[in-house]
A and B are shown apart, each in its own frame.
Chain A
Amino acid sequence: MRWSTLIPLVLVLSSVPARATVLVPADLAELTRDAQAIVHGRVIAVESQWSEGRRRSIETLVTLQVEDHLKGQFGSEVTFRVPGGQLGPYRTIMPGAPVFGERDEVIVFLAWRGPSVPWLVGLGQGVYRVTTSADGMRHVRPGVPLSRTGIPQPVVRGAAGGALDLRAFETAVQTLASRGAR
């Protein structure tokens, strides 16, 4: 929202500290650093299942046909898991967990431990959606601005572009990955 120069001022003057819970936010540099693989691809399968191991919960396996690897190598297909899904009549929802459909085009930031199915770094923060505009240009959402200025940079609703050019985004990610690649 961008009554922003007003609202924060008033809240500060009113001694109302900022607060929230749930997600520890990450910017693109952190996501890139924490991801073991970053993949651009298209969803070709979505399937819910009971989670493996002693825990009994519904999760969803999402399989991508890989178009490009921005960090790491995964072969031509990659499967990752997200919380929630539907099995028979039972539907489990974890607010904030992304939902995928077949043919979705995405860039995902993935991590894993040992021989496990990868997961999204930062849950929904580790997903960028690729869209094609009417003029055929491909963009990614969310259009997270990169903090390049060296000073705190407000995220302004309705001001910065809501989408980034796909190629520019990929270049930015690859640059970040090359700087901090593990």
Chain B
Amino acid sequence: MIARLQLRRPCAVLCVLLIALAHASPAHAYLKFGVRVDSRMVDAKWSALPVRYFINDSPVPGVGPQQFREAVDRAFRTWQDVPGATVAFEFAGFTGAEPLDEDGANTLGFLSRPDLDRVLASTTFTFDSRSGTLLEADIFFNSDFPWSTAEGGEIDRYDVQSIALHETGHLLGLGHSALGETELRPGGGRRVIAAGAVMFPIAFSAGNIEGRTLQADDVAGVSDIYPTGSFRSDTGSIQGTIAKNGEGLFGAHVVAFNPRTGALVGNFALDDDGSFVIAGLTPGPYILRVEPLDDGDVESFFDRSDLDLEFAVTFHDRIVVVPRGGTSSRIGIAVRPR
């Protein structure tokens, strides 16, 4: 359903946003991992719960195996406590096996990987590509960085729990969220200005423990993959297509803004025809904006790099109303080449 309220000028949209964002709440935006099996995409999703996991028994300075396990458990519990989702984990024991070894066991632990020199932590999946069955997922924490499990964090040390929370999101099948912004520092490197999701892929600061808390963005994502019985009937979705010069625009980032709640909600056009779906939305009105990913790390979002980023940020010229338990009528947005 598309309401007839039409915003004639971009500044009007911005004014609405400015007012509404004063009450901004975290955003829903998420990308699900998938693997292509024949011609279909299969979600990286655990078919049987709880997910059993092992903890590698190697310590790093400042963090022993038991401390590591407790921090990881707290991260797991954070995901388990999401009311709209049905995920569960089970500790299977300590092990001498290393993460990233493909041995059929889900293993978390520290490891030195010089070839992953700027990766704090990472999750790997192994699939049987014939069936799309997820066989194993490991999470490695790079032992070349300083780590901490201190309750209040430690200066210049990365917080195991925060990073485990992000990686566990991957373990559950969530991809990266694009709801964040960075800036180039004059001395080199990038810094996050703002992030609206634990699943935002880049930037962090040692000593920061704020990443221990999920945002609604992340909550919507995990609920969409492992929904409780009422999740879908309580929420709605927006669907449509993004086009440039009359052709579908794969990879365009679509953000929905709810002026009533202040929520930012987003996803990507995930087909070559430019179609997108943003699910898990609180029913109500939304303003849609389409934008390219920034310079960054396109391959942190997609396993293809041929995205067309040469288009201008574009607002849909109408308010879209999301019904409870349903989907908006199909929306078409044409973006202008830059």
- Mark A residues whose CB is within 8 Å of B: 1-4, 6-14, 16-27, 29-30, 34, 55-58, 81, 83-84, 86, 89-99, 111, 113, 119-125, 127, 129, 141-147, 149-158, 160-163
A-contact bits for B164-176, CB 8 A (1 contact / 0 none):
0111001000011
Contact of A20 (CB < 8 Å), options: B35, B101, B186, B195: B195
- Known interface pairs A8-B194, A20-B166, A155-B190; A111-B117 also in contact (CB < 8 Å): yes
A residues less than 8 Å from B57 (CB atoms)? none
6 closest A-B pairs by beta carbon, nearest first, are: A162-B309, A119-B115, A18-B192, A25-B190, A147-B184, A21-B166
How many A-B contacts at CB < 8 Å in the complex? 287
Partner of B295 from A20, A119, A144 at Cβ < 8 Å? A144
Contact (A123, B298) CB under 8 Å given A17-B208, A19-B200, A22-B166: no
Assess the B194–A7 pair: CB atoms within 8 A. Answer: yes
B263 interface contact, C-beta 8 A = no
Per the 8 Å Cβ criterion, residues 186-229 of B in contact with A are 186, 188-196, 198, 200-205, 208, 210-211
Stretch of B1-9, B80-88, B120-128, B321-329 lying at the A interface: B120-128
Chain A facing B: main interface SS: loop
From B22, B114, B179, contact of A10 by CB (8 A):
B22
Contacts of A6 in B (CB 8 A): 14, 17-18, 21
CB distance from A175 to the nearest CB of B (A): 15
Q: Is the CB of A19 within 8 A of B208?
A: yes
- A residues within 8 A CB of B117? 34, 111, 119, 121-122
Q: Would you call A20 and B211 a contact (CB within 8 A)?
A: yes
Instruction: Kindly provide the distance from the CB of A147 to the nearest chain B CB, expressed in whole angstroms.
Output: 4
A21, A58, A113, A125: which contacts B211 (Cβ < 8 A)?
Answer: A21
Beta-carbon nearest neighbor of A142 in chain B: B295
Asked whether A27 lies within 8 Å of B176 as measured between CB atoms, the reply is: no
Chain A residues near B14 (CB-CB < 8 A): 6
- Report B132 CB to chain A, min CB distance, Å: 10
18 contacts between A and B (CB under 8 A): A1-B255, A6-B21, A7-B264, A11-B24, A20-B203, A22-B121, A23-B300, A26-B118, A83-B115, A90-B102, A93-B35, A93-B303, A98-B299, A124-B297, A152-B184, A157-B293, A161-B310, A162-B295
